[in-house]
A and B are shown apart, each in its own frame.
Chain A
Amino acid sequence: MSEESESTAYDAPVTGASSRPASITAVPVRHPWRWVGSLVLLVLGAMLVNTLVFSQTQQPHQSGSRFGWNIVGTYLFSSQVLHGVVITIELTVISMVAGILIGVLLAVMRLSKSRLISSVAWGYIWFFRGTPVLVQIIFWFNIAALYPVLRLGIPFGPSLYTVDVNSILTPIVAGALALSLNEGAYMSEIVRAGIISVDEGQAEAAHSLGMSRLSALRLIVLPQAMRLIIPPTGNETISMLKTTSLVSVVAVSDLLEATNSISAQNYDVIQLLIVASLWYLAMTTVLSVGQYYLERHYARGSTRELPLTPMQQLKRNIRHVKPVVTPNEERVIGADHE
């Protein structure tokens, strides 16, 4: 293997080898402070690993590791915690999907030529961004105090259908509703930023082909706006994942509520917070990976070469180790970096 690759390495620069001067060999600049910094970081890292893994508990009459990893392990996959994880995922997905839909609608409304429509959207955003989401969750949970019965019918006229509000607005519905309405306000600004970033000539070209305003938005403007919309939306989703923990105030048994209720019984507060944090970390990691691929998808046409996926990068690295790269291919790969 290594012999073969050496031989290609010598073969490659055959043309013009005579005219090319010898490669530069110079004494590199020394960076002593880098070494000092690295050493300090190494020591700090060792201390972190030591306290996390090896140090013993300081509590009297107890044994085991300081962080109580065995307790963490006991509860990490307990059914109560897993149920909380499912609730958290449900709330995140529902709130983000609804929030994005509301956000797109509000963004389009704000860009409307009608003053009334754009002010309504502005007012919505002003209200829902201006009040704490915690207040909104508690508000929707208690809305039955104001409107005990929901009536569907003709405005100011007879009602055709009535329903008890408390029976619809269960804690989880109230939580999802509050989170969705709140998220819609934030998403609308993100979507609007994306839309106005697209060159006006794009909509004009679409209109000159005979597209309606709606088709131009859907087929031409929004797909291009996605490149700007996705990164902050990824932020919002990750933020939402953690914001869902606020619904525990209205007794929804999400992840944090599950771990809190366990630690309320066994007093292992830190261990159960670690359980919750590990789950939150795992979920945000999945989301970050998803975001990477989504961004890559919408980068089509905006960069000359799409960035490689980690898998492709790995394959290319393996291929580089093997001596199968022909000089021709090498030239193409080199061109990518221009």
Chain B
Amino acid sequence: MSNAGSTPMVKAEHVHKSFGSLEVLKGIDLEVAPGEVMCLIGASGSGKSTFLRLINHLEKLDAGRLWVDGELVGYRQVGDKLYELKDKEICSKRSEIAMVFQRFNLFPHLSVRENVTIGPVKVKHQNAKEAAQRAESLLERVGLSDKIAAYPNQLSGGQQQRVAIARALAMDPKLMLFDEPTSALDPELVGEVLDVMRGLADEGMTMVVVTHEMGFAREVGDSLVFMDDGQVLERGNPKEVLMNPQHERLRSFLSKVL
């Protein structure tokens, strides 16, 4: 974007990914600047979620290059040669990138407090007491301080997703990935999750959001990317892209979603 001088938080160059014979990503080129909120839209199967999962190396990319904060994802480059990173190095990089899932994926055997503290305590080896205090303030921030002792399945979907966001924030991530965070929610619960995300965006968090919430994309997103069949078809300012779609494919997609 406009921050020309700084290193992009995410940079993708000709990223390809196949599952067996199915090519899901056919050359993605994207940049996400620090502090930017990028929304990815597109029909299901267009490769949005796969791209998101490549960023924190939950999937391996087949071809192209992907950098997070100036560092290659999953590999180290020495001269012309690429070396695969060790599990430990991958883990430490993942711990700086938070991910929020469509189906929340809270740990059902742990209380809300333990869900939020397990990352800091077990991965970053923070003091348990400090982590618990931090968890309290994070849960207060997402409006759930009264649910700290509850277990995930005692909560509504919207509450679970807010806990998942608190769990992600507890790792002090420099980048947050949201994989359709509101798609599994009852319509009346979508707002409470989007409000929390809007707050994060206002505070300058770098976010890549796969979403079907066009309202959120228009109001909160700094940029909007429309993906179709494994390629970026259109990208730009959300208001302009949504108001004035250039491709027929995007027009027909928007006519169905809006």
The judgment on whether A and B are partners is yes
Q: Which residues of A contact B (CB under 8 A)?
A: 199, 201-202, 204-213, 215, 219-220, 223-224, 298, 300-302, 304
Question: Footprint of A on B, CB under 8 Å?
Answer: 56, 58, 87-88, 91-99, 101, 103, 105-111, 118-119, 122-124, 151-154, 167, 171
Closest B residue by C-beta to A200: B105
On chain A, the residues within 8 Å of B97 by CB distance are: 208
How distant is A271 from chain B, measured CB to nearest CB, in Å?
49
Give the Cβ gap from A223 to chain B, nearest Cβ, in Å.
5
A209: which of B87, B93, B123, B154 is its contact (CB, 8 Å)? Answer: B123
Q: How far is the CA of A298 from the CA of B87 in the complex (A)?
A: 30
List chain B residues, Cβ under 8 A from A201.
101, 103, 105
Contact of A208 with B56 at beta-carbon distance under 8 Å, contacts A201-B101, A301-B152 already known: yes
A301 (CB) vs chain B CBs: closest residue: B151
Contact of A211 among B93, B101, B123 (CB under 8 A): B123
Assess A300 versus B109: contact at CB under 8 Å? Given A209-B118, A209-B171, A212-B88.
yes
**A207 interface neighbour in B58, B88, B109, B111, Cβ under 8 Å:** B58
| Inter-subunit contact A211/B91 (CB<8 Å) | yes
A59–B27 Cα distance when bound, in Å, is 93
Expressed in whole angstroms, the minimum distance between the Cβ of B62 and any Cβ of chain A is 18
Q: Are B99 and A220 in contact (CB under 8 A)?
A: no
By a CB distance below 8 angstroms, the chain B residues around A302 are 108-109, 153
B107 in contact with A202 (CB, 8 Å): yes
Chain B residues positioned under 8 Å from A207 (CB to CB): 58, 91, 94
> 6 extra interchain contacts, Cβ-Cβ under 8 A, other than A210-B96, A220-B107, A304-B153?
A199-B105, A202-B107, A207-B94, A209-B119, A209-B167, A212-B87
Residue of B nearest to A299 (CB): B109
Question: Is the beta-carbon distance between B105 and A211 smaller than 8 angstroms?
Answer: no
Complex alpha-carbon distance, A220 and B119, angstroms: 11
Q: How far is the CB of B51 from chain A (nearest CB, A)?
A: 15
- Please name the residue on chain B nearest to A199 by beta carbon: B105
Q: Which residues of A contact B151 (CB under 8 A)?
A: 300-301
Chain A contact residues, majority secondary structure? helix
A200 to chain B, nearest CB (A): 9
Contact indicator B95/A209 (Cβ below 8 Å): yes
The 5 A-B residue pairs whose C-beta atoms are closest, nearest first, are A210-B95, A205-B105, A301-B151, A208-B99, A209-B119
The A/B interface has a contact count, at CB < 8 Å, of 73
- Least CB distance from A19 to B in Å reads 31
Report how far A201 CA is from B184 CA in the complex, Å. 14
Contacts of B110 in A (CB 8 A): 301
A242 to B167, CA, bound (A): 47
By the criterion CB–CB under 8 Å, are B107 and A210 in contact?
A: no
Contacting pair A208 B58 (CB below 8 A): yes
A224 to B115, CA, bound (A): 14
Asked if A205 contacts B101 (CB within 8 A), the reply is yes
A220–B108 Cα distance when bound, in Å, is 9
Q: Are A210 and B123 in contact (CB under 8 A)?
A: yes
Distance between Cα atoms of A201 and B105 in the complex (Å): 6
Residues of B within 8 A of A301 (CB): 108-111, 151-153
Contacts A210-B92, A210-B123; A219 near B153 (Cβ below 8 A): no
Give the docked Cα–Cα distance between A199 and B101 (Å): 13
For A209, what are the chain B residues with a Cβ–Cβ distance below 8 Å? 94-95, 118-119, 123, 167, 171
- Report chain A residues within 8 Å CB of B103: 201
B105 proximity list for chain A (CB < 8 A): 199, 201-202, 204-205
A204 touches B58 (CB 8 A): yes
Distance A257 CA – B91 CA, assembled complex (angstroms) = 55
Of B87, B103, B123, the most chain A CB neighbours within 10 A belong to B123
Chain A residues whose CB sits within 8 angstroms of the CB of B95 once the complex forms: 209-210
Listed A/B pairs (12) with beta-carbon separation below 8 Å = A205-B101, A205-B107, A208-B94, A209-B94, A209-B118, A209-B123, A210-B171, A219-B122, A223-B109, A224-B109, A298-B109, A301-B109
Q: How far is the CA of A304 from the CA of B153 in the complex (A)?
A: 7
Set of chain A residues within 8 Å of B109, measured between Cβ atoms: 223-224, 298, 300-302
Report A12 CB to chain B, min CB distance, Å: 28
Q: List residues of chain B with CB within 8 A of the CB of A215.
A: 122-123
* Residues of chain B lying within 8 A (CB to CB) of residue A199: 105
B118 engages A208 (CB within 8 Å): no
Contacts of A208 in B (CB 8 A): 56, 58, 94, 97-99
Q: How far is the CA of A224 from the CA of B152 in the complex (A)?
A: 13
The CA-CA distance from A63 to B111 in the complex, in Å, is 65
Nearest B residue to A214, CB-CB: B87
- With CB as the reference atom, state the residue of chain A lying closest to B110: A301
Cβ-closest chain B residue relative to A302: B108
